[in-house]
C-alpha cells in the first residue's frame, strides 16, 4: 500500500508557548502556515480541545499541538495526552495517507495491529498507538488536511528557500535493536530496508517509508540514543536535504544560532534553542535513498 507522509506532530504542554514555537519555525525555517485551528467562542462551544498551526517547510507539514479550550482542563483525554507527551526530543508521531480507509484497516489488522478510532471520526482516520510502533504513533488518514497546498497536483514549493531546503530526507527513530526495527518495519509494515550505515549517534538501518525514509538507530549502552530508546521512545530527529550544507550553516550562524555536528556534511541547530527538536541538515544523499519530495499531489491527481 502507498503511505505518503501527511505530517509529523509533537506536543507542547502549555498553549502559551505555542506562538513562540510557531514563530521560530516561521522565522528560521521559513515555514508558511497552511491552516490554523484556534479557540474561538464558537469552537469552544463545539468542544475544541487544542490549538495548532499546520506549518509547511517546503512540501513537509509539521504540526506542534498544544492543549487549549476544553483540553486545558485536567481529565480531557486529548489534553492529558498532550501534556504527557510534551517533552524535549519526544514527538507524537506521523500521519500517513491512504485512499481507502477500510482497506487500510484490513491491511493493518491482518498484520496484527490494533487500531483505535476516535468517536465520530471513523470515516476519516484511525490510530495505531505508539506502543505498537516503537514509540511512534501512526495516524492513518483518508481526509485531506485543511489548507494543504499539496492537494493540488500542480503545486510546487518555493525554490528560493532561505536555508536551501529541498525536502525531507528522513525521520529518525531510536530502537533497542535493529532486529526489533526490522521485525516491525521490514516484516510487519513491509517497508523495504534500503541500507545500513554508521552515524555519530549509532548504527542506522534505513527503510523506505512511502515518500520518505525511516532511519532506525541503535546506540551503544550509555549513549544518548540508547537513553532515548529506553526512556522517550519513538521519533528522535528529522533530516532535511539542503542544496549546500556550508551555506545553510552560514545562514544559521548569521542568526546567532549554535550548531552541532559537522557543518560540512550533517549538522543541526542545538535542540536547546530549537524548541527541543533535533533537526539535521545535509546535502549528502545516502546510497539507496529516494529523491526528496512529497507524493501527496500524485495521490490527489489519481483520486
Tens-place pLDDT, residues 148-192: 999 888 888 887 778 999 999 999 999 999 999 999 999 999 999
Query: What value does the CA radius of gyration of the chain take, rounded to a whole number of Å?
Result: 19
What mean pLDDT is predicted for residues 223-242? 97
Among 186, 218, 192, which residue's Cα sits nearest to residue 288? 192
The per-residue pLDDT for 2 is 65
Q: How far apart are CA 157 and CA 59, in angstroms?
A: 6
Query: What are the cell numbers at 143?
Result: 481526509
Confidence class for position 46, pLDDT limits 50, 70, 90 = confident
Q: Is 42 exposed, middle or buried (0-12, 13-18, 19+ CB in 10 A)?
A: exposed
Confidence class for position 147, pLDDT limits 50, 70, 90 = very high
pTM for this entry: 0.95
254 Cβ neighbours under 8 A, 6+ residues apart: none
The per-residue pLDDT for 161 is 78
Lowest mean pLDDT among 96-100, 133-137, 266-270, 298-302: 298-302
Q: How far apart are CA 85 and CA 24, in angstroms?
A: 20
Q: How far apart are CA 8 and CA 239, in angstroms?
A: 12
Q: In angstroms, what CA-CA distances link 81 with 71, 94, 214?
A: 10, 16, 24
At residue 195, what are phi and psi to the nearest 5 degrees? Answer: 150, 165
Partnered with residue 140 across adjacent β-strands are 96, 126
Average pLDDT for the chain: 94
Amino acid at each position: 500500500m502507498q503511505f505518503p507522509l501527511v505530517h509529523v506532530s509533537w506536543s507542547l504542554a502549555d498553549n502559551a508557548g505555542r506562538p513562540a514555537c510557531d514563530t521560530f519555525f516561521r522565522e528560521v525555517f521559513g515555514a508558511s502556515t497552511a491552516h490554523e485551528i484556534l479557540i474561538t467562542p464558537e469552537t469552544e462551544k463545539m468542544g475544541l480541545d487544542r490549538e495548532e498551526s499546520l506549518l509547511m517547510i517546503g512540501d513537509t507539514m509539521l504540526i506542534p499541538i498544544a492543549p487549549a479550550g476544553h483540553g486545558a482542563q485536567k481529565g480531557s483525554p486529548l489534553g492529558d495526552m498532550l501534556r504527557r507527551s510534551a517533552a524535549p526530543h519526544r514527538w507524537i508521531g506521523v500521519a500517513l495517507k491512504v485512499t481507502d480507509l477500510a482497506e487500510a484497516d484490513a491491511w493493518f489488522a491482518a498484520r496484527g495491529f490494533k487500531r483505535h478510532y476516535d468517536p465520530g471520526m471513523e470515516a476519516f482516520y484511525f490510530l495505531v498507538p505508539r506502543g505498537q510502533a516503537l514509540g511512534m504513533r501512526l495516524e492513518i488518514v483518508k481526509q485531506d488536511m485543511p489548507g494543504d497546498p499539496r492537494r493540488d497536483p500542480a503545486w510546487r514549493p518555493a525554490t528560493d528557500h532561505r536555508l536551501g531546503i529541498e525536502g525531507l530526507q528522513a525521520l529518525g527513530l531510536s530502537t533497542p535493536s535493529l532486529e526489533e526495527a526490522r521485525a516491525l518495519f521490514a516484516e510487519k509494515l513491509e517497508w523495504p530496508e534500503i541500507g545500513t550505515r554508521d552515524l555519530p549517534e549509532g548504527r542506522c538501518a534505513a527503510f523506505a517509508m512511502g515518500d520518505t525514509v525511516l532511519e532506525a538507530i541503535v546506540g551503544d549502552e550509555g549513549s544518548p540514543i540508547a537513553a532515548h530508546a529506553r526512556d522517550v521512545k519513538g521519533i528522535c530527529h528529522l533530516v532535511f536535504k539542503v542544496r549546500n550544507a556550508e551555506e545553510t550553516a552560514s545562514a544559521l550562524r548569521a542568526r546567532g544560532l549554535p550548531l552541532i555536528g559537522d557543518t560540512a556534511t550533517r549538522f543541526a541547530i542545538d535542540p536547546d534553542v530549537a524548541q527541543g527538536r533535533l533537526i539535521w541538515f545535509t546535502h549528502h544523499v545516502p546510497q539507496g535513498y529516494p529523491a526528496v519530495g512529497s507524493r501527496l499531489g500524485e495521490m490527489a491527481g489519481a483520486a
